[in-house]
Amino acid sequence: MVIIDKKIIFGFIAIVAILVLVYYFIQNDDEQKFFNFNIKTNQADLEELPINSIFKINGVKGEFIIDGNLKQYTRLFFELDNKNQSTYDELINNDDKTIVIYPIFTASAYNEPGFYNYYKGQCDHNCLTVPIKPILRAEIGGNGAQILKLLNYKFLSDVDIDKNPDVLKKFDKIILLHNEYVTQNEFDAITSHPNVIYLYPNALHAKIEVNYDDNTISLIRGHGYPDQQITNGFDWKFDNTHPYEYDTECKNWEFYEIDNGKMLNCFPDTLIYRDAALLKTIREF
């Protein structure tokens, strides 16, 4: 009879356990960790709005301005509408090789006090360094972000791209929202990708740097800073801010080609929840 020392058995078990743990963590590291923006609202504070849409639209009670005889809600929130399921079936994204980049840096720049208080002459250079806050804002294409999320698109954020620019090489198609403020790392990664959908005009407009220790961004160049003559902070020839950013009706929307993808010729935030043809075009590119 062969007698095996208990120490050998326990040692073997320990080695197997370590190997299992190592394999688990390696697999975990290989998994793509997606960005998930959460919309924190109390359902009791919302009211459904009678707006022509293929989605249910809610506004926050009391959060609106009066424009003529119309209430203009400052924030909109979207849900799927069961009666439009057949439409969603045609629009849903099932492509794991498509990614949307959520514009955290631009959302942070629009917070107050921030970049726009400086542009308006309301504060000094101190307003050109602001905390990073992943807030859902209308100015960053907040409607588009919600609609694409409802249609099963996966997201990464500016931070993900800045820290690991090579991550974009894993995807066949990149969809930009209103990513106006980006780092050099992010700019290089996006403009070197062969298939980018620039869904909002004014993307890649100004250069910032990030201090991850302080969790802040700072404007470096662009948007008339540090010289009024500087428009695009990267001197990017495909900047389509003017005139397309100001066409919010999108009556004659179309995509046109540039070197590394396609650009939309209008600002689609009031169109994207109404026009199934636009959403189908985005999916099929």
pLDDT digits (tens, 9 = 90+) for 32-58: 789 988 766 777 789 999 999 999 999
Backbone dihedral region for residue 152 (phi beyond 0: left; psi -120 to 50: alpha; all else: beta): left
Q: Residue 123 sits in which domain range?
A: 87-284
In a domain, 3, yes or no: no
Q: Cα separation of 278 and 137, whole Å?
A: 21
Domain total in the chain: 2
CA 32 to the chain's CA centroid: 17
pLDDT digits (tens, 9 = 90+) for 104-162: 999 999 999 999 999 999 999 999 999 998 877 777 889 999 999 999 999 999 999 99
**Who's near 285: CB < 8 A, 6+ residues apart?**
173, 195, 197, 255, 262
In a domain, 142, yes or no: yes
In a domain, 91, yes or no: yes
Q: Token pair for residue 181?
A: 């403020």
63 vs 208, more confident: 208
| Domain co-membership, 136 together with 156 | yes
In a domain, 33, yes or no: no
In a domain, 35, yes or no: no
Among the residues of the chain, which ranges form H helices? 6-30, 85-91, 104-110, 115-119, 142-150, 158-163, 184-191, 241-244, 276-284
Of the residues 79, 110, 132, which one is the last residue of a structural domain? 79
| Domain co-membership, 117 together with 212 | yes
**Who's near 182: CB < 8 A, 6+ residues apart?**
105, 158, 162, 190, 204, 206, 207, 208
| Domain co-membership, 116 together with 74 | no
Q: Cα separation of 251 and 170, whole Å?
A: 35
**Who's near 243: CB < 8 A, 6+ residues apart?**
none
pLDDT above 70: percentage of residues in the chain: 88
In a domain, 75, yes or no: yes
Burial zone of 93 (CB within 10 Å; 0-12 exposed, 13-18 middle, 19+ buried): middle
| Domain co-membership, 65 together with 91 | no
| Domain co-membership, 45 together with 153 | no
**Who's near 163: CB < 8 A, 6+ residues apart?**
none
| Domain co-membership, 49 together with 152 | no
Question: Is a pLDDT exceeding 60 seen at residue 18?
Answer: no
User: pLDDT grade, residue 25 (50/70/90)?
Assistant: very low
| Domain co-membership, 108 together with 188 | yes
| Domain co-membership, 54 together with 154 | no
| Domain co-membership, 48 together with 151 | no
Q: Cα separation of 69 and 128, whole Å?
A: 38
Residue 68: the pLDDT is 79
Q: Are 34 and 167 in contact (CB under 8 A)?
A: no
| Domain co-membership, 64 together with 112 | no
pTM for the structure as a whole = 0.86
Of the residues 79, 109, 140, which one is the last residue of a structural domain? 79
In a domain, 16, yes or no: no
In a domain, 256, yes or no: yes
| Domain co-membership, 155 together with 212 | yes
Q: Cα separation of 171 and 48, whole Å?
A: 36
Of the residues 17, 51, 79, which one is the last residue of a structural domain? 79
| Domain co-membership, 278 together with 152 | yes
Q: Cα separation of 180 and 96, whole Å?
A: 25
Beta-bridged to residue 67, according to DSSP, are 70
pLDDT digits (tens, 9 = 90+) for 198-217: 999 999 999 999 999 999 99
